[in-house]
Amino acid sequence: MALFLSNFFGMHLSLIENLPNRDYLAHGHFYLIRISQIEDREIFKICLDYWLKLVNELYDEMQQLPMTELNPLMGM
């Protein structure tokens, strides 16, 4: 399940984020969080690879925003 969810989200995250109902994404991430808590090293590494990719993409996205969009008070 961890391998399926991490690969599916890794390949199709942009499509899922654009769906009108984002519950699928929230539930899928919740399942991955719960699976990440299983005390199995290989399963944890699979989940960790996905979390690393997700956080890296979020960081890159934030770096591309202009400074005024990050803090609206700086635009005043």
List the domain boundaries for the chain.
Answer: 2-75
Mean of the pLDDT values across residues 50-72?
83
Please report the pLDDT score of residue 3 as a whole number: 94
N- to C-terminal Cα separation, the chain: 48
pTM of the predicted model, to two decimals?
0.78
Find out whether 2 and 43 touch, Cβ atoms under 8 Å.
yes
The residue behind tokens 């989940």 is 47
pLDDT, tens digit, 9 for 90 and up, residues 16-40:
989 888 898 999 999 999 999 999 9
Residue 45 has a pLDDT of 96
